[in-house]
Structure 1
Amino acid sequence: MLDFYLSINNSEEVIHIPVTPSEFTVSSSQGTETFETANYGWIKIIGNPELKTVSWSSFLPMTDYPYLRDRSMKGQEYADKIENWRKRKLPIRLVITSSGICNVDINIAAAIDKFDYSVGTGGDLNYSIELGEVNLLNDEQEGLTVAQYDEIMARIDNIEERLSSVENTMIYNYMDDNMPSWAKPTIQKLMDRGIISGTDDNELGLTMDIIRTLVIIDKTDGFENYTVDIMPSWAEATIEKVKRKGYLNGDGEDGYGLTKSMIRLLVIMDNAGCFGD
């Protein structure tokens, strides 16, 4: 009698196949390479055996038949566990043992290459499965434990959540649907007053960092205060950079319409790298 076992993580979870299949197939090819030579014609070099493939068909019972090898689960529960292992992308261990006149002993690490099933009239699940052998770098440690896997997945989910909350790096060039609705009143005000302007193509070239800062300045009435007549020396480099990039109108004689609060925030943004080089 044959017994089929599937397991993960050194038997942390085990499936004893409840109905022994009537037969199973083991496929393995030999790696070879063929070359044509001038003196000896065609030469074939024999390489290493390729990885095995083991496949069989049977059914997962919903009924408690007397010949079952395992009764720990019902049909769909077996299928759900196999599908769960596939989703976790964990290597599994296939062990086939024999007793009596049989002389079969298979013990390989494998991946579930194919698993198809259908529901019969009595509720049993007819299935076929194909397992492809995998060559583990360290066969003594087949992979992560379930607890380790869950911890890593939790960390990945946390990272993905953080990344999804980070604003993208797109450039906002126009007052269109891409411009955040909460920023449109401020940006429109600054455009009307000539405080910000576009390039020759009328592109504003605003990043999200710049937009947020402009809105903060506006909320604190930074655009309503008196403007600076003389540019502070510590701000000259920043203002020149911002003007060169097309974020400001005016020149030193006509004035830029900047308040002290605006200048301070622009310098802070520049020091933080918001305007680039």
Structure 2
Amino acid sequence: MSKELWLTFDNGIETLQLPVNPPELSVGQGSQNDSTDVFNLGEVTILQKPKAMTFGFECFFPLMPGPYLNVTDGQLKEPAYYVEVINKWRASYKPIRFIVTETEINYLCSIEEFSYSERAGDVGTLYYSLSLKEYKVVTPRVLKDVNGVLVYETKPTRPGAI
């Protein structure tokens, strides 16, 4: 069974399987490490949390079915459909989920770049490039004043807890 690449939106309510697997998928993760010079020791590195994961690939949305499809002929949509869906999700300012089956890749992501073009000799097929970046959900903390000191307000761990 071959791997499948999926994009989902709104907690899986909308799904999109990419019809053709890209020949290459790049995965990256940098670091935010700092370094400083210490007298009589030299440069030292201060380890920090890693940066968000990045994913990038190039492929195509075919106009006609062929042996390269990772979906059945009946599941193949018009190339413009894929572009419309990705652009709609991107314009929503909400993250999507990127999943590659048979791997550990299953991340909430922002669509960083999406571009497409049509090539001479292959009219109707759209070639695209997609760049995604890991999205981390941020929950704001509530501060409360306790005797002039701001502290994080903690929520009960179970219903009815005080």
TM-score range, shorter chain: 0.7 to 0.9
Amino acid at match of 1:115: F
Residue matched to 2:143? none
Matches within 5 A, 1:90-169: 90-98=94-102, 104-120=103-119, 121-137=122-138
Amino acid at match of 1:95: I
Q: Higher RCO, 1 or 2 (CA under 8 Å, sep at least 6)?
A: 2
Amino acid at match of 1:83: N
Q: How far 1:66 sits from its partner (Å)?
A: 4.0
Residue matched to 1:86? 90
CA deviations 1:212-245 (Å, max 9, x no partner) are: xxxxxxxxxxxxxxxxxxxxxxxxxxxxxxxxxx
- Consecutive unaligned residues of structure 2, counting only runs of 5 or more, are 140-162
Q: Secondary structure at the match of 1:30?
A: coil
Q: Secondary structure at the match of 2:136?
A: coil
Q: How far 1:65 sits from its partner (Å)?
A: 2.2
Q: Kindly indicate whether the alpha-carbon contact (under 8 Å) linking 2:65 and 2:76 is maintained by their aligned counterparts in 1.
A: no
Q: How far 1:50 sits from its partner (Å)?
A: 0.9
Residue matched to 1:48? 49
CA distance in 2, matches of 1:128, 1:32: 30
Matches within 5 A, 1:228-243: none
Identical positions, percent? 29
Q: Secondary structure at the match of 2:21?
A: coil
- Consecutive unaligned residues of structure 1, counting only runs of 5 or more, are 99-103, 139-277
73, 80, 91: which is aligned to 1:76? 80
Q: How far 1:22 sits from its partner (Å)?
A: 1.2
Q: How far 1:39 sits from its partner (Å)?
A: 3.4
Q: How far 1:30 sits from its partner (Å)?
A: 1.9
Residue matched to 1:150? none
TM-score (norm 1): 0.46
TM-score (norm 2): 0.77
Residue matched to 2:30? 29
Q: How far 1:33 sits from its partner (Å)?
A: 0.4
Amino acid at match of 2:97: R
Matches within 5 A, 1:251-266: none
Amino acid at match of 2:24: E
Aligned length: 133
CA distance in 2, matches of 1:23, 1:15: 19
Structure number with larger C-alpha Rg? 1
Amino acid at match of 2:88: N
Q: Kindly indicate whether the alpha-carbon contact (under 8 Å) linking 2:28 and 2:54 is maintained by their aligned counterparts in 1.
A: yes
Higher strand proportion, which one?
A: 2
Tell me, yes or no, if structure 1 residue 3 matches structure 2 residue 4: yes
Amino acid at match of 2:98: L
CA deviations 1:194-218 (Å, max 9, x no partner) are: xxxxxxxxxxxxxxxxxxxxxxxxx
CA distance in 2, matches of 1:57, 1:67: 15
Q: How far 1:64 sits from its partner (Å)?
A: 2.1
CA distance in 2, matches of 1:92, 1:135: 11
